[in-house]
Structure 1
Amino acid sequence: DANWGGNAHGGTVMRWIDEAAFACAASWSSESAVAVYSGGIRFYRPIHIGHIVEVDARLIHTSLHGMHISVHVRSGETTAPHALQLTTRCLTVHVDLGSDDRSRPVRPLPLLTAEDIRLDAHARELVTMRSELASIPMGLALRGS
């Protein structure tokens, strides 16, 4: 799907992100994983039709029931497959649903490297920030618009 400028539609890129994040979550838990949050999406540059596209999903944090997945999309010329540029990034959260449609506990993610620890801390910081946003009264939030 191309837009008028000859680039991939943003919605198409978002679908790729969702599919990669699901594959990551399902491989960690089960095929019953479902997305419950997707945010912080940033579109940095267009993806031109005919370019190579790489979608990388990485589990960066687990909570009792949630799997936080960082997704990066890169693209570039077919003649330079090792010089792909970051086009989009996003964070998604998935849960694993049981037969009763309730989230099941998720096995903990082992933090083996300094990067694992840094990414886990970043995800925890984002969780805290989202929880603080939820406590802002709606009327006050709307006044800022």
Structure 2
Amino acid sequence: MSGQQHILEFRFLAEPTDVNFGGKVHGGAVLKWIDQAAYACAVAWSGKYCVTAAMGGIQFVAPILIGDFVQVRCRLVHTGTSSMNLIVDVRARDLKAVRDRLATQCVLTFVALDAPDGKPTPVPKWIPESEEDMALARYAEKVMEVHRRIDQEVSDLRPAGQDH
């Protein structure tokens, strides 16, 4: 049922196929996990097929190693008419250790699409439930505003007539 689930977690072990030549998980693999978790969270909230519209504020804070227990936690923090802002934290832990560590975090925007035409379609409104929810919504909006400004600057640098 849409409008119910606003937090979603993936948990798994980092595998040898996920790592680069330095023995650490590829940033691309982490981005894939983030996108998959955010997609699942956006669909769970909206009840619709969703697509990634933007990713901003990506920070690779600490490496993830083979065998680490990985937790990808996605949280809806803001809705527009058809869009949803989600904050994703990726945490990792050596299973022999007690504490986990923040590995990566970012903000994503997803857009819900209707089935027949693939056009943006309304999503249930998210109403913050706590002061933390309101702070996270403000943070997500700031990150995505910076992303929009950078995108506009890059667009302004392109010769006339060239699209993305």
TM bin (shorter chain): 0.7 to 0.9
TM-score normalised by the chain length of structure 2: 0.77
CA distance in 2, matches of 1:126, 1:120: 10
Matching of residue 16 in structure 1 with residue 22 in structure 2: no
Q: What is the distance in 2 between the residues matched to 1:133 and 1:15? A: 23
| Equivalence map 1:114-125=2 (5 Å) | 114-125=131-142
Does the alignment pair 1:97 with 2:106? no
Q: CA deviation at 1:130?
A: 3.7
Match of 2:92 among 75, 92, 117: 75
How do 1:41-56 and structure 2 match up within 5 A?
A: 41-56=58-73
What stretches of structure 1 of length at least 5 have no aligned partner?
Answer: 141-145
Question: How many angstroms apart in 1 are the aligned matches of 2:151 and 2:49?
Answer: 27
Q: How many residues of Structure 1 are paired with residues of Structure 2 in the alignment?
A: 139
Distance apart, 1:47 and its partner CA: 0.4
Greater shift in the superposed pair: 40-49 or 117-126: 117-126
- Displacement of 1:116 after TM fit? 0.7
Q: CA deviation at 1:5?
A: 1.7
2:102 is aligned with 1:86: yes
Q: Structure 2: which amino acid aligns with 1:124?
A: E
Q: For residue 26 of structure 1, what is the aligned residue in structure 2?
A: 43
Shift of the 125–2 alpha-carbon distance from structure 1 to 2, 3 Å rule, reads: closer
Sequence identity percentage:
36
Structural RMSD (CA): 1.8
Q: CA deviation at 1:109?
A: 0.5
How far residue 31 of structure 1 moved from its aligned partner, in angstroms, is 4.5
Amino acid at match of 1:107: P
Indicate conservation of the 8 Å contact 2:76/2:86, yes or no. yes
